[in-house]
Structures are given as structure tokens and as C-alpha cells.
């Protein structure tokens, strides 16, 4: 149970709703509806634990709406297209000469087309990606390495072709491996350092750093 009043992070919000990190918006919505009905104060009068759970569910749902919810567009009645009369052969030529609008430059046409389109799924994924990155940085600063790795792996599963995400995932493994060396958990440290190399094998800078970490381990053994 989250402490009410504290700011929840992405992982906490998924956990409160009983979901894995990176779950779709439809899964988030369905889980919230189900749990909200179960813990609603009207159904559980005088039950403070149910009330706290309901509040936490609502906070988590609202937070995830800002991160993963698809954008909502509204249309007024004045925007509903009306039926356009089909020109007859006798009026086609007259329409072309008298009513043809001036042609717009291709660049201007492209801009208008872009502005008329609602934000697509790529924009939603980009927003989620950078929200998750901010959370990942916070976990690493606070030395919450298992949570950082879980978050990085969930994002990599959602965006498997994103090179930046792969790099973040590999760095999370490396940082955790170094922390394990300091804790003298050498076998486990070696596992995570190897995972860092495997995750982002083309990153030369990361490769060199991890190799030095592994050499440090070999000297200990």
C-alpha cells in the first residue's frame, strides 16, 4: 500500500493497479474499474483500509493517464462534414474556371496536413519513454538498483528497437554490477556486468568500462 499524500512513481502506479510496468492503456483502464468497484467506500462503509486503497488506486490511475493515455480530440457540430453535391457534366467546366481555389505551395499543404492530424502512438510512446527515463535516473541516484533494472527492462520490452533504451538498460546492469562488487557479491556482479555487454554490445565506451570492471573482479578471484 502506498502512503497517501506522497508522489507516486510509474512503477508504483502499475503495482497499485496490479499490472506489470508497460501495460497498455486499455489494461490500465480495465484494472482500475475492477479494483475501484471492489474497494469503493460505498461498498465498504467504515473500512478505512478499503478507503485508503481506493484513494491510492485513483491517484495511480490519474498519474498513468498523463503518461500513457491516448490524446482526446473533440469536434464541434460545426466541424461535421456536410454532403457535397456532385457536379454535373454541364457545370464541371464552369466550376473549374470560376471556383477553383488557388493552389498552395507543397510545403504549406504539408504543414496544414500535419496540424490537422491528432497526436499518434509514436508521440505517446515518446512521452512515456522520457517519463520513465526521469524515474530511472531517480532510482539510480537513490541506489534502488533492482527497481531501476525492472523499470529499464519493462521499457525495453515496450520499445525493443530503441537504441537509447537499450543503452539505459545496459547502464543499469553495469551500475548494479559495480554496487555488487562493493558489497562483495562477486559472482552476482559478474552476471550483471556480462548482461550489460550483451544488452548493448556496440557501445564501445560501455564495453571498455565493463571490461575494466570484469578485470577488477578477476584480480579479486
**pLDDT on residue 15:** 85
pLDDT of residue 196: 93
pLDDT, tens digit, for every residue of 10-62? 777 888 888 887 777 888 888 888 898 888 888 888 888 888 888 888 888 88
The whole-angstrom separation of Cα 114 and Cα 70 is 18
Whole-model pTM: value is 0.48
CA atoms within 13 A on the CB side of 94: 5
Q: Is the pLDDT of residue 199 over 90?
A: yes
Question: Which domains, ranges and CATH numbers included, belong to the chain?
Answer: 10-68 (1.10.287.110), 122-220 (1.25.40.10)
- Per-residue pLDDT at 171: 93
Can you tell me the distance from the alpha carbon of 3 to that of 190, in angstroms, rounded to the nearest whole number? 36
Amino acid at each position: 500500500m502506498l502512503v497517501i499524500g506522497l508522489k507516486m512513481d510509474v512503477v508504483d502506479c502499475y503495482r497499485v493497479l496490479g499490472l506489470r510496468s508497460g501495460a497498455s492503456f486499455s489494461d490500465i483502464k480495465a484494472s482500475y474499474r475492477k479494483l475501484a468497484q471492489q474497494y469503493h467506500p460505498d461498498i465498504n462503509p467504515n473500512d478505512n483500509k478499503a478507503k485508503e486503497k481506493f484513494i491510492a488506486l485513483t491517484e495511480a490511475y490519474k498519474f498513468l493517464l498523463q503518461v500513457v493515455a491516448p490524446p482526446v480530440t473533440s469536434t464541434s457540430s460545426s466541424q461535421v462534414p456536410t454532403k457535397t453535391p456532385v457536379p454535373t457534366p454541364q457545370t464541371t467546366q464552369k466550376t473549374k474556371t470560376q471556383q477553383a481555389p488557388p493552389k498552395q505551395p507543397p510545403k504549406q499543404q504539408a504543414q496544414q496536413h500535419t496540424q490537422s492530424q491528432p497526436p499518434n502512438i509514436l508521440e505517446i510512446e515518446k512521452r512515456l519513454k522520457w517519463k520513465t527515463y526521469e524515474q530511472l535516473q531517480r532510482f539510480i541516484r537513490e541506489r534502488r538498483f533492482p527497481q531501476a533494472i525492472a523499470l529499464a527492462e519493462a521499457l525495453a520490452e515496450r520499445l525493443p528497437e530503441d537504441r537509447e533504451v537499450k543503452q539505459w538498460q545496459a547502464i543499469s546492469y553495469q551500475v548494479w554490477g559495480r554496487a555488487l562488487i562493493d558489497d562483495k557479491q562477486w559472482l552476482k556482479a559478474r552476471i550483471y556486468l556480462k548482461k550489460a555487454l550483451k544488452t548493448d554490445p556496440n557501445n564501445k565506451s560501455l564495453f571498455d568500462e565493463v571490461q575494466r570492471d570484469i578485470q577488477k573482479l578477476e584480480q579479486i578471484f
